[in-house]
Amino acid sequence: MFTGIIETVGVIQSIEKSGTNVDFTIQSNISHELKIDQSVAHNGVCLTVTALKDDWHKVTAVEETLLKTNLGELEIGAIVNLERCMIANGRFDGHIVQGHVDQIGKCTRKEERDGSWLFDFEYDSDLGNVTVEKGSICINGISLTCFNSEDGKFSVTIIPYTMEYTSFKTLQAGDVINLEFDIIGKYVSKLLNKK
């Protein structure tokens, strides 16, 4: 389990196809602290560390993950958000994040607002996912509060710290993003729509 509070970013060093899987090698300042078999969220996608060295680690994404997330669109040099799983005695600073991306969405607007940035996003609401005003949303692994919540769209505001220390610094209108909707909302929706 994760909290959506990004520890650091990594840079994609290599991308290698292995059948229908893709192996990503990521350079980061936490790679030397990882261990093989450890779960780490990469842009909000929980992946297992399969190899590592001093300043890099390798993870594998299977075809299902590549089809349902933005990992398949990453290129060498891309920045990814990284978060290790929460330790049992840690503070829960974000919200409950499983590292299981529900669907992709798209950034439709980025606007500087004199010290902060407004981002608008759209997603396919036919898949049954919803946001609520002032509710939690996980974008590329980052726990955020959404507003302007409507069917298939919402907004977030980014503070300078988040802009500097996450992949939001490279995000532009038209970019595809990973979305994990609030787990509590998903359970409530499932129970209300149960037949």
| pLDDT tens per residue across span 38-57 | 999 999 999 999 999 999 99
Residue % of the chain over a pLDDT of 70 = 99
E runs forming strands in 28-185:
39-42, 45-52, 56-61, 79-84, 103-112, 117-123, 136-139, 142-145, 147-150, 153-158, 176-181
Q: Which two tokens stand for residue 35?
A: 């261990």
pLDDT for the residue 115: 92
Determine if residue 88 is left, alpha or beta; phi over 0 gives left, psi from -120 to 50 gives alpha, anything else beta.
alpha
Q: pTM surpassing 0.85?
A: yes
Cα–Cα dist 14/195, whole Å: 47
Q: What's the one-letter identity of residue 126?
A: D
Find the helix or strand (DSSP H, E) in which 22 lies. Answer: strand 21-27
pLDDT at residue 112 greater than cutoff 70: yes
